Chain A
Amino acid sequence: MTKDPLRGAVLRALGDVAPDADLTGLDGGADLREALEIDSMDFLNLAIAVRDATGVEVPEADMPRLATLDAWVAYLDERLRAGAGS
């Protein structure tokens, strides 16, 4: 999966997890907690939704790295290239 579809997958997951959040014009480098007012519960649900969409399960230790949309895309790309689908 290239980065564009990965970005789309994460955005769709964000929309599912936080349907009341405004994703319009979300900056890839913006801190998701600040920009979308999402909390740890939302983050967990996001990780589950992304796992369902991409097959990549994020270990808890890696969660702090995923503060922005760009970070999510880069992480997923790295994991999928490494062949770690689950």
Chain B
Amino acid sequence: MIEFRMPSLGADMDEGTLLEWRIAPGDRVHRGDIVAVVDTDKAEIEVESWQEGTVEQIVVPVGRKVPVGELLATFREDGAAVAEKEERPASSAAAENGERPAPSAAAEKVARPAPAATPAAVERPIPAARAEPPRTSSPAPAPARFRATPLARRLAAERGLDLAALAGTGPDGAITRDDVEAAATAPAATPTPMPMPTASAPASQSQSQPEPTSGMRRAIAAAMQRAKREIPHYYLETALDFGAARAWLEAANRERPIDARLLPPALLLRAVARALREVPELNGFWIDDRLEIAEAVHLGFAVSLRGGGGLLTPVVRDADAKSVDEIMRALRELVSRARAGRLRSSEVGGATCTVTSLGERGVDKVFGIIAPPQVAMVGFGAIAERPWVRDGWLAARPVLTATLSADHRASDGQRGARFLARVARLLEHPEE
């Protein structure tokens, strides 16, 4: 029997909420098939199976928050006999799991009423998901199975709408912004009267109200606190002339169809990946008081989510072995899916180093906070025309500042300086 367990979808992930099953008992699962969607508080991730078999049992129902490593489902290996049916149904098996942690985080989420009807997105029955809700101390019953864009979820939460009660008109029946807006314009309930100011109210009408903390923000806060507490950071920066790289990109793009165009981030990641090969102390993990240098270079790339939605870091795997075209294709795909809330489990977690770029937001430089257990983070600022001395002459050149935040337990400044110098060299000579 093959056990499918809650994967770790990020270094700071302790538990995840099962949002959706894409499989049912009896389904054949192939390696790479997406079998579930999990909410990690930072993102909704499509989880792939790395094993093959036939689904035997769904152990955890939709809506349940479970710790990393918890058994979610079982698969039957090819050729294995069908297991004897257990006397108890899957939902009861889940309910009996007294080791499941108290869903304190679930209590802070927007409460979801019991599922009202079959969601439009369901294509095959999920018997375990519709079984009797487990009788636990969970304050929030399992939500209906549905898909919704991140914007739709946010708007629904703001308007107090139950996504489970909406029919989706988006791809694969996903609930979109338009669906939420249409539901919001339905006949309104009795409006809540505006509270009248009291005699003790302050003269100013702009009294601030505390904002509830989203799951994403809590996850980021916990990760950043841990990073600052545990990692002795040191910081370096270097300015480089991006003129040659810009000219190289323009020349390359003149001959390419639009689908194959290159953007600066592809060059930045390629330079970082190759420089990490030369300074491997910055490409790895600090675990159990020692540095584990990673064999591969998997670069995490910070992607901001719109509307203050936080940050995700999908991973470009084997970045050092990829051409700039391959890196560009990977970036386009990952950034699009990250913002659409459709990243896959193979695309998150496992980064050996992370890159962040805030250049398009106009900042000159950014010093990132390392994501443990990684030991380095590279930052890039805006490409801006600045005074630059070249061959003894002062000229205006497109200048970019690259930064390094590194773990002083794993490397010293000299190694960090060598790394940054290499990044600068590779970007100033993109033909190399």
For the complex, what is the distance from the CA of A19 to the CA of B177, rounded to whole Å?
Answer: 8
Contacts A22-B177, A45-B332; A37 near B306 (Cβ below 8 A): yes
Looking at the complex, which one of B261, B264, B307, B360 makes contact with A22 (CB distance below 8 Å)?
A: B307
Q: Is B421 an interface residue (CB 8 A)?
A: no
Looking at the complex, which one of A19, A33, A45 makes contact with B176 (CB distance below 8 Å)?
A: A19
Q: State whether B258 touches A51 (Cβ < 8 A).
A: yes
Q: State whether B258 touches A48 (Cβ < 8 A).
A: yes
Contacts A41-B331, A60-B253; A19 near B340 (Cβ below 8 A): yes
Looking across the interface, which residue of chain A has its beta carbon closest to that of B151? Answer: A20
Q: Which residues from B are CB-within-8-Å of A39?
A: 360
Give the interface residue-count category, chain A.
Answer: 20 to 34
Residues 1 to 22 of chain A near chain B (Cβ within 8 Å):
17-22
Which of A18, A19, A39, A44 has the most chain B CB within a 10 Å cutoff?
A19
Q: Which residues from A are CB-within-8-Å of B253?
A: 60
Q: State whether B307 touches A20 (Cβ < 8 A).
A: yes
Q: Which residues from B are CB-within-8-Å of A42?
A: 335
B300 to chain A, nearest CB (A): 16
Looking across the interface, which residue of chain A has its beta carbon closest to that of B303? Answer: A41
Residues 30 to 66 of chain A near chain B (Cβ within 8 Å):
33, 36-37, 39-42, 44-45, 47-48, 51, 57-58, 60
Q: Is B181 an interface residue (CB 8 A)?
A: yes
For the complex, what is the distance from the CA of A42 to the CA of B360, rounded to whole Å?
Answer: 12
Looking across the interface, which residue of chain A has its beta carbon closest to that of B265? Answer: A41
For the complex, what is the distance from the CA of A33 to the CA of B258, rounded to whole Å?
Answer: 20
Q: Is B8 an interface residue (CB 8 A)?
A: no
Looking at the complex, which one of A20, A44, A48, A51 makes contact with B149 (CB distance below 8 Å)?
A: A20
Q: Is B341 an interface residue (CB 8 A)?
A: yes
Give the interface residue-count category, chain B.
Answer: 20 to 34
Interface string of B254-279 (1 = CB under 8 A from A): 10011101011100000000000000
B150 to chain A, nearest CB (A): 5
Q: Is B339 an interface residue (CB 8 A)?
A: yes
Q: State whether A60 touches B261 (Cβ < 8 A).
A: yes
For the complex, what is the distance from the CA of A12 to the CA of B282, rounded to whole Å?
Answer: 43
Q: State whether A20 touches B332 (Cβ < 8 A).
A: no
Q: State whether A18 touches B306 (Cβ < 8 A).
A: yes
For the complex, what is the distance from the CA of A36 to the CA of B304, rounded to whole Å?
Answer: 13
Looking across the interface, which residue of chain B has its beta carbon closest to that of A40? Answer: B263
Q: State whether B181 touches A41 (Cβ < 8 A).
A: no
A33 to chain B, nearest CB (A): 8
Q: State whether B263 touches A20 (Cβ < 8 A).
A: no
Looking at the complex, which one of A20, A41, A45 makes contact with B306 (CB distance below 8 Å)?
A: A20
Q: Which residues from B are CB-within-8-Å of A23?
A: 177
A83 to chain B, nearest CB (A): 19
Q: Which residues from B are CB-within-8-Å of A40?
A: 263-265, 360
For the complex, what is the distance from the CA of A18 to the CA of B304, rounded to whole Å?
Answer: 12
Looking at the complex, which one of A20, A33, A41 makes contact with B340 (CB distance below 8 Å)?
A: A20
Which of B264, B340, B341 has the most chain A CB within a 10 Å cutoff?
B340
Q: State whether A20 touches B258 (Cβ < 8 A).
A: no
Interface string of B300-336 (1 = CB under 8 A from A): 0000111101000000000000000000000110011
Looking across the interface, which residue of chain A has its beta carbon closest to that of B257? Answer: A57
Looking at the complex, which one of A19, A21, A44 makes contact with B263 (CB distance below 8 Å)?
A: A44
Contacts A17-B336, A60-B253; A24 near B181 (Cβ below 8 A): yes
Contacts A45-B332, A51-B258, A58-B258; A20 near B339 (Cβ below 8 A): yes
Q: Which residues from A are CB-within-8-Å of B177?
A: 19, 22-24
For the complex, what is the distance from the CA of A64 to the CA of B309, rounded to whole Å?
Answer: 27
A18 to chain B, nearest CB (A): 7
Q: Is B230 an interface residue (CB 8 A)?
A: no
Q: State whether B151 touches A21 (Cβ < 8 A).
A: yes
Looking at the complex, which one of A20, A36, A45, A58 makes contact with B305 (CB distance below 8 Å)?
A: A20
Q: Which residues from A are CB-within-8-Å of B258?
A: 44, 47-48, 51, 57-58
Q: State whether B335 touches A41 (Cβ < 8 A).
A: yes
The 4 nearest A-B residue pairs measured at CB: A20-B151, A37-B306, A20-B150, A39-B360
Provide 30 A-B residue pairs closer than 8 Å at the C-beta atoms, listed in order of the A residue: A17-B336, A19-B149, A19-B150, A19-B151, A19-B339, A20-B151, A20-B305, A20-B339, A20-B341, A21-B151, A21-B306, A22-B151, A33-B360, A37-B306, A40-B263, A40-B264, A40-B265, A40-B360, A41-B265, A41-B332, A41-B335, A42-B335, A44-B258, A44-B261, A44-B332, A45-B332, A45-B336, A48-B259, A60-B250, A60-B261
Given contacts A20-B306, A51-B258, 6 further A-B contacts (CB under 8 A): A19-B149, A20-B340, A22-B307, A33-B360, A37-B306, A41-B335
